[in-house]
Chains A and B, each alone.
Chain A
Amino acid sequence: MKEKVDRSINRIDAPEKTGGYAEYIADMKFEGMLYAKTLRSEKPRAVIKSIDIPLLPEGCYVVDKNDIPGKNRVKMLLDDQPFFAEDIVNYIGEPILLVVGPDREQVAQVLSNIRVLYEEMEPVFTIVDAVKCDKASIYGEDNCFSGYEIIRGDPDRAFREAAEAIEGEYRTGLQEHIYLEPQGVIGVYENERVTVYGSMQCPYYIKTALVQGFGWDEERIRVVQTTTGGAFGGKEEYTSIIAGHAAFAAVKTGRPVRLIFDRAEDIICTTKRHPSIIKIKTALDKNRKITAMEVEITLDGGAYAGLSPVVLQRAMFAATGVYNIPNIKVKGRVFATNNVPSGAMRGFGGPQAFFAIEMHMQSLAESISRDPLDFKMENMLSKGDLTVTGGVLRYEVKLPQMIDLVEKMSGYRRKYEAFINDRGEVPKGIGLSIFYHGCAFTGSGEKEKIRARVKLKKRKDGKVLILVASVEMGQGSSTTLRKIVARAMDLPVEDVIYENPDTDIVPDSGPTVASRTVMIVGFLLKKAAERLKAGGEKAADFKVTEACEGPAELEVTEEYEEPGYIKWGHEKFEGDAYPTYSWGVNVVEVEVDPVTFVIKVNGIWGVYDIGTIIDERIIRGQMEGGIAQGLGYAAFEVMNTDCGNILQPSLADYIIPNSKEFPEMEIRLIDNPYEYGPFGAKGAGELPFIGAAPALASAVQNALKVPIKRLPVTPEYLLKVAEGEK
């Protein structure tokens, strides 16, 4: 175990997943289990006047708002979303009630015979209309879930004194997660306690939501994660809703209740990436140096707030990208519409902001006849500079070396010059994006909201158990966390045990989100492992599962402590919005079919600084997967709505890229250890997503010589741009 920590090992979950014997929620059977199916709103906005339910067959039940013992609100930030609709529905697909029964055919039959009488209200579908607010407001007085402003320096004066100001408006669309395994849970009620099993990212979010929904003591609620086939943020907050449904149904019927979506239902009613409109205005002095930037971000939050306020914050904190801007004004607002609620998704506001700023910088440079990369590099952040919120970049920013490396790998500069002057039959282009991702929770979230706790137990046979609420969802954490503990204790990886979290057993190490699992939870585990190695405390006997039952010898608990340097003022958004940052540079080369405007990707290169790598192959998987998903967002994944109806509710029409689509990606990882990450590791999961779309869009801009201001960059959009918006 003395070899380098980054040496790849076989993923511990690989055999059961590739062999097909991993047990997912749909594989679980319980004695007497009932099946649930959801009655959903067919109207985007309406008052429910009446619900006509036919006589129920023996053994069938209806579960609705009246079966919620506690508060009919899904616990999140603003507590505005009901588990089951009360008098009003706010989007197509909003859950109204469940039909539960032993036979799925019968349940479907009952469901199709329920008649809901709606009195329709005037719906709001676009950000522009939500801002206008000339119909009855959906949320508060002005449809605005949250609005913030950040001012640093004196932007108004800088704009007054500017020699010129250059503006752009950028728009991005919906994106669906398309995790391989759709959402699913099973609720079980026995001995006055409720247990929810399911595919999830955040066992303790669900537990907290159930505590509020039931109004019960925490001891009566248990949440168990089952093997989870992908999540990408889609199982962060959404799963709490269906966990509530299955749990309320289990209590009402006294039987285990299974609620699993098929793909169409999953696409129709679960959260999506926030659509955005971002306006950027940049002030230049007479020497064409940037003196100030004003950014206005508006997001479509959908019908309920969910995590929208924090998604907005993350977008705002990335508003000026990797650039050192002396005077800044950032205004952000997220609005309610009658669309399906927007929610967490890989990048969490960052992708929208980085698309806007990277396209803006490219267009800005080109409009003043500067080379975009030179112009970007002149304005780039380095160690000691301030972030949007005035936080100090305390650690070395290795962007210059990374750009140098990606330039050598891709030949970016030579190609950019060649393509910009090329008038050949097939337009070719190359684009480069520079970006970061703030690691872990935004603001003081880690300290004040989460306060992560981890536990290690050592058995008499020498094996060590990792007890954390952080889940394996395909990203490799069950292997990575084991490697961290094994390495810290000089044990073989086989002697470290990690099982899917069960809230009866594991402490709350926080949600599996925000690129925090390795950096925050892994660091706590490393500290715990070091203490355990040094002796630890005597532990009581315990039982986890049959497989790892046994008398414990020692245990160690470790709780999050904020690094001393972090300063954050939440009222004004001042200081260190994140403990540290991961950085990336992404280059994409394309050609555009001159007849059809279909984009073909000819090359992909990426250089990333994620601190130290814990497992090289897992990280490569994350980087390549993130890029592919980001390129899908950039050019493939079209999701439109018509009067609140999603027009692409199947994988036949919502196209995600597959392995035939892209050439081999060339990825390099540079070492830049972070002192508060395990062995120097920082966050990695979201970073690669962020750079892909602006790199592709810049490449298309280079090829077609027209500014690209919208995602996704579809052939339909390019035709319109090329024909001058006829």
Chain B
Amino acid sequence: MVRTYRPQSFQEALEIKKGAPVITIAGGTDLMVKRRRSTGLSPYFEVPAMFIAHLGEIKGVRFDGGNIRIGAACSFAVLLQNEATPPILKTAVSRIASPAVRNMGTIGGNICNASPAGDTLPVLYARDASVVLKSIDQERILKISEFITAPGETVLREDELLKEIVIPEKPFDVNFYRKVGTGMTNTISKITFTGIAEILNGMVKDIRITFGAVAPTVVRSRVNEERLIGHSGKEIEKMIPEISSLYSALINPIDDQRSNAFYRRSVSLRLLGHFLRALPGC
């Protein structure tokens, strides 16, 4: 038998966290699959489980003084319906699994799961999202790129819970997202690519480029992005070989049961080239 907690408030959840080790379940669409055993046997939990996806305090999406704040227990289905959700995040979320999984799965779960193939992550990295981590005693805010350290690993402390995700409100003129997987639905990503850009007077004012599922964590390089800033689409087109080789050095894909390193590397760079060529002025 598995011992479980179902706190009535976020505060109570933090108190439980403080008391003893628990495994937090915020939807469980990945966690329950990983911990399943054969038919008729309870899933494996070495410590008690705590459910938090029902907590209303961490389920909303709202604008807040220049930021969009998304509660950690906000399901993918809610994200898709909410007006405050950035459209590019909606695009990414709409390709996650199937309606049943989108009803159960949460953005906080996707982040804390820290899968290299987590589909919200490349968009959150591109949008400079931060995570708010709460414990009974304190609150800290980290960039998502500081929060996730390796496949399945984050800096979340034993007594902390992810409370919300903060995305700076900022309009982008180009919003490009591609998920590459087998089939249209119910598919785990082989590659995801996100490219967003702000264009002013035919010049790139800001640009963000991220790759998912091709390295232990999401690949993003502000240094590479800054090389592109201040250039016109025409100039950028000429820079594609150079920029491609810079990113090729950063991505580190593997052969696995879903694809191979050669495809992942080649298609990542093809997507990059496709995105850069399509920038206005090219």
Contact = CB atoms under 8 A, between A and B. Distances in A.
Binding partners A and B: yes
Interface of A: 26, 35, 37, 104-105, 108, 260, 262, 264-265, 595-598, 636, 638, 640, 647-648, 651-653, 655, 657-658, 660-661, 714-716, 719-720, 723, 726
B188 interface: yes
Contact of A596 (B184, B256, B260, B270): B270
A262 B38 contact: yes
Given A653-B257, A661-B183, A719 B41 contact: no
B182 A636 contact: yes
B123 to A, nearest CB: 18
A596 B182 CA distance: 11
B184 A661 contact: yes
Contacts of A716: 259-260, 262-263
B184 A660 contact: yes
B185 A104 contact: no
22 contacts: A26-B39, A35-B40, A104-B38, A104-B40, A105-B41, A262-B38, A262-B39, A595-B267, A596-B178, A636-B182, A638-B182, A652-B33, A655-B183, A655-B187, A657-B183, A658-B185, A660-B185, A661-B184, A716-B260, A719-B262, A719-B263, A723-B266
5 smallest beta-carbon distances between A and B, as pairs: A647-B257, A655-B182, A716-B263, A104-B40, A262-B39
Contacts of B258: 653
B271 interface: yes
A652 B188 contact: yes
Q: Is the interface of A mostly helix, strand, loop or mixed?
A: loop
A451 to B, nearest CB: 39
Nearest to A264: B38
Interface in B227-274: 256-260, 262-263, 266-267, 270-271, 274
B267 A648 contact: no
A37 B270 contact: no
B77 interface: no
A640 B258 CA distance: 10
Nearest to B190: A715
Contacts of A597: 267
A640 B274 CA distance: 31
Nearest to B267: A596
A264 B191 CA distance: 25
Contacts of B104: none
Interface in B63-108: none
Given A636-B182, A640-B257, A260 B39 contact: yes
Most buried by B among A597, A657, A714, A716: A716
A264 B41 CA distance: 14
A35 B38 CA distance: 12
Nearest to A261: B39
A262 B37 CA distance: 9
Interface string B12-43: 00000000000000000000010001111110
A653 B260 CA distance: 13
Contacts of A262: 38-39
B136 interface: no
B142 interface: no
Nearest to B266: A719
A658 B183 contact: yes
B186 A655 contact: yes
Nearest to B191: A596
Contacts of A105: 41-42
Contacts of A653: 188, 257-258
Contacts of A264: 38
B186 A265 contact: no
A104 B41 contact: yes
A653 B257 CA distance: 7
B227 to A, nearest CB: 22
A449 to B, nearest CB: 36
Contacts of B266: 719, 723
Contacts of B187: 655
B263 A595 contact: no
Nearest to A105: B41
Nearest to B182: A655
A426 B180 CA distance: 17
Contacts of A260: 39
A380 B260 CA distance: 41
Contacts of A652: 33, 188
A715 B189 CA distance: 13
Given A595-B270, A596-B267, A596-B270, A636 B183 contact: yes
B186 A658 contact: yes
A222 B50 CA distance: 49
B83 to A, nearest CB: 26
Interface in B174-202: 178, 180, 182-188, 191
Given A104-B39, A720-B262, 15 more contacts: A35-B40, A37-B38, A104-B40, A260-B39, A262-B38, A596-B178, A596-B180, A596-B267, A636-B183, A640-B257, A647-B257, A660-B183, A715-B267, A716-B262, A719-B266
B190 to A, nearest CB: 8
Contacts of A35: 40
Nearest to A260: B39
A648 B38 CA distance: 17
A433 B253 CA distance: 37
Contacts of B42: 105
B257 A648 contact: yes
A714 B260 CA distance: 11
Given A108-B37, A262-B39, A715 B183 contact: no
Nearest to B39: A262
Given A104-B41, A648-B257, A719 B183 contact: no
A723 B269 CA distance: 14
A82 B186 CA distance: 38
Contacts of B182: 636, 638, 655, 714
A167 to B, nearest CB: 28
B236 to A, nearest CB: 17
Contacts of B38: 37, 104, 108, 262, 264-265
A636 B41 CA distance: 32
Nearest to B37: A108
Most buried by A among B188, B262, B263: B263
Contacts of B262: 716, 719-720, 726
Contacts of B188: 652-653
Nearest to B263: A716
Contacts of B178: 595-596
Contacts of A265: 38
Nearest to A650: B33
Contacts of B257: 640, 647-648, 653
A26 B40 CA distance: 11
A595 B183 contact: no
B39 A595 contact: no
A23 to B, nearest CB: 17
A707 B38 CA distance: 44
A658 B186 CA distance: 9
Given A35-B40, A658-B183, A660-B184, A595 B274 contact: yes
